[in-house]
Every structure is written in C-alpha cells, then in structure tokens.
A = this chain, B = another copy of it.
Amino acid sequence: MKKSDVVQTILQDRKENFPDGVAVNIFSPANIALCKYWGKRNQELNLPVTGSLSVSLGEKGTTTTLRISQTHQDKISLNGTIIGKESVFAKRASQFLDLFRTRHAPYFDLVIQSNIPIAAGLASSASGFASLVHALNQLFAWKCSNKELSILARLGSGSASRSIEPGFVEWYSGIHEMGLDSFGECLSYQWPELYIGLLIINRNEKQTSSREAMQRTVTTSPLYSSWPKKVSEDLFTIKQAISYHDFDLLGKTAESNAMSMHATMLSAWPPIHYACAETVLAMQKIWNLRSEGLSLYFTQDAGPNLKLLFLEKDKDVVLNHFPEVEIVRPFKD
C-alpha cells in the first residue's frame, strides 16, 4: 500500500480546478499532544500504533501560500528565504507534492511562513503539512471534508492529521490497512481558561528526528510493549478531564503521558535523551512550584523544550517564575 493509493482513493472522481496564476493562502495551527503519538504500525502511511489527543495552538502555526508554478520546478520559500531543492525540507515538501501533481499542475510555488521554531519539537511539520493540504484543497476546489484533509495531511506527517482543526483534536488510530479510519477529529469542548506556555530552551534543530527516535524506540525499547495500554488509559482520562474541566486531572495525565513517552526512549538503545540540563532544571522548578500548591504541569515532545499547562488565573504567577515563557491561548475568542 502506497501513499499514492490513498490519495487516489480519496480524490477519485473529484472534479479539479486548475486556476493558473491564482494563489491561495491558508493558516493552520500547530498542535501539542496531551496524549502522545509515539510509534507507527505502518511507516509508509504514518499509521499510528495508538490514538492520540492534542490541542491546537490558536494563532501559532504555519501559513502556506500556494500557486501553480509557471516554471519547470517547485519553488519553495520558508520564512522569507528560498530553500535549495537539495535541502531535507524542500525534498520532503516536494515528495509530498509529487502525490498531487497533474499535467495541468506539474509544479508549485510554495511560500511558507511559520511563527514557531522549526524542528525543535514544536510541531512545525504538523502545521506545515496541514496548511499545505488545506491550500491544495482550496486551490483545486476538491471540496474535501476535514476528515479527508486529515488523512491527506497524515501522509505528510503523522501529527499533521491533528492540525486540520482548532481546539481539542483526537486522532483515531484506526484499524484498516489503508488508514481511511485514521484521522483527526475536533472535540466539541471549549476551555477558554486553558493556557499553554512555550518554554523554549533551545531553538536549534534536534539531533535525532522524531521519526528516527520513534522507530528506534519501537524497535529496541523493552518498555515499549507497555505503552499502548498507558495511552488507552490516558486518552480516556484526558477526555474525561476535558469534559469536566478538571484541570489537575488533565495536567497530571498529560505530564505523566509525556514522561512515559520519554521513558520509552530512555530505554531504547542507544538511549534517546531529549532533555538537556536546562530542561531538567525547569522540570524540577515546576515540581517544586507544584508541591507549593501551584497547578502547573508540563508536557514535552521530541526536543528539549517544555510546554507548560496552567489556567488563566495563574498566569501572573507562572510569568513571574518563567518570564521567558511565550503564552498561547488555544481557545482565545
């Protein structure tokens, strides 16, 4: 089963527009998983071993401007700079675009603007592929549903399936071979008081890609076999916490889920350790503040940065202790 088979299945019999010269311009949010996606059951199609659940980051994400190229190659710019076609970034984008080229749209101009650090465990590829898929849908007037867009975005990057919609999004693992039942869907709950604080410890690109780390964990970690059960319990608990607005239950479960994901990496060989010394200091600070009564939790992805979870009422205290934090309000009106 190849990516092109999935694309063909979704787009078959769909009328396409080929609006030469027209540019579409779409923003998609980054997302942060409260219950993590860690491990693939199918590498080619980015089909996950388990479900996962995220919150989209409001105004933090990627804007993609897309048009059909008048030249004989893709032209890709990222944050104002043209990217050489031999770069990993351009290759990954062009390979994804290969799935959608036709005689009438052989090449594309792609202008990508991201307001989050690239490849530092802040889900830049998720918002990137989500906005690109949204843009393709609009450019060609496919009129795909969000479910279909989520499936297409997943072919670019697994977590992109959760960046098609705002708010809380659950990505279903699905069971089918082609993955047509593995997509992200928005939960109906809002939580305006929920704040996220991006604690950027290191903006550099990570040494081990999340793709490689995930695969090494699945292949070598003796603890990974316990991960799916942990996820299924945490997914249930987090959805309960969201529906009751039980913040401590949400924070505790999200933090525990992240720590367990990193635990599976520690036990991989060679060990994968995304935390740097400053990450450990920040964690200890959070645990100390919590022991003094502050409802402050964190989650961590495949990088050294932490994402703080807290409520609006504690904003000033959190900023007092972490003045460098960048605040995101996922449910800002």
Chain A residues close to B by CB (< 8 Å): 221-227, 229-230, 233, 252, 255-256, 259-260, 262-267, 269-271, 273, 275-281, 283-284, 287
Contact = CB atoms under 8 A, between A and B. Distances in A.
B264 A223 contact: yes
A260 B266 contact: yes
A287 B264 contact: no
A150 B273 CA distance: 37
B278 A252 contact: no
A298 to B, nearest CB: 11
A276 B226 CA distance: 26
A266 B266 contact: yes
Contact of A263 (B263, B280, B281): B263
Given A223-B226, A280-B277, A256 B267 contact: yes
Give the one of A221, A230, A256, A266 with max B CB within 10 A: A266
A223 B263 contact: yes
Contacts of A264: 223, 263
B283 A273 contact: yes
A273 B282 CA distance: 12
Contacts of A230: 222-223, 267
B225 A226 contact: yes
Contacts of A266: 259-260, 262-263, 266
A276 B273 CA distance: 13
B233 A226 contact: no
Contacts of A252: 269
B267 A259 contact: yes
A132 to B, nearest CB: 35
A229 B225 CA distance: 11
Given A222-B226, A222-B229, A230-B222, A273 B280 contact: yes
